[in-house]
Amino acid sequence: MFTGIVRDTGEITRVQDKNGIRRMLIGTHLDVSKMDIGASIACDGCCLTVVDKEGGCFAVEATNETLSKTTVGDWKEGTKINLEPSLRIGDEMGGHMVTGHVDGVAVLEEVARDGEAHRLVFRVPDHLAQYIAPKGSVALAGISLTVNEVDGSCFSVCIIPHTWEVTSINRWKTGDKVNIEADMMARYVARILGKEEPIEKQDAA
């Protein structure tokens, strides 16, 4: 379980593909010595498992399913990603409840200045639109954000200067794809009301 509060911006330093598995080495300012093998790390919103450590880097692996349903398949050496270790008992719940199970990929449609902030507009797959509500929560590339406006399958968020500086958002441009996880509470409500899309229509990873 995560909160969507990014702790570091890591960098992909090595990518290896073998037997349907992509292994990636990630450089970070986090204390790798305190990471247990088998620990969960949210990498741009994807819950991945630490499988090895090398100096100030840690390694994770992804299967073809994850590669096809998230942005992980687009990562290459030099790619910057948001990192958040899993919650520990007693940690502050600063964002919202995030599982690290990506629902799909959102496309950045527009970036505009809004005073000192930035306003970003995203488009999501139709089956995810029902889970996006004004003033609701959404995780984009692992970042807990509040939805401002919703227009069909598009929604907007406003990014304060601090978030702009300490996450990978400042590198995003129109047309970029980012991992999205809908608020789990919205999923439960949809399930209760019988409005959840059939699983075969979803892009969940």
Share of the chain above pLDDT 70, in %: 93
- Residue 185 has a pLDDT of 77
What dotted CATH number matches 8-85? Answer: 2.40.30.20
pLDDT in tens, 79-100: 999 999 997 776 777 778 899 9
pLDDT at 60 over 90: yes
Radius of gyration of the chain (CA): 17
Q: Output the pLDDT for position 196.
A: 63
Tell me the mean pLDDT in the region 51-70.
95
| Cβ partners under 8 Å of residue 102, min gap 6 | 45, 46, 69, 70, 179, 180, 181, 204, 205
Give the integer Cα–Cα distance in Å for 12 and 23. Answer: 10
What is 104-198's CATH number?
2.40.30.20
Residue 201 has pLDDT above 90, yes or no: no
Asked whether the predicted pLDDT for residue 110 surpasses 80, the reply is: yes
Percent of the chain with pLDDT over 90: 80
Q: What is the pLDDT of residue 34?
A: 93
Domain coordinates in residue numbering, the chain: 8-85, 104-198
Query: pTM for the complete prediction?
Result: 0.89
Q: Is 195 exposed, middle or buried (0-12, 13-18, 19+ CB in 10 A)?
A: exposed
**Residue 186, C-beta contacts closer than 8 angstroms, at least 6 positions apart:** 130, 131, 132, 133, 136
- pLDDT-derived band of residue 195, with 50, 70 and 90 as boundaries? low
CA torsion sign, 193 to 199 to 203 to 205? positive
Question: Which pLDDT score is estimated for 197?
Answer: 60
pLDDT greater than 90 at residue 1: no
Read off the pLDDT of residues 141-193 as tens digits, 9 standing for 90 and up. Answer: 999 999 999 999 999 999 999 999 999 999 999 999 999 999 877 777 777 77
Average pLDDT, the chain: 91
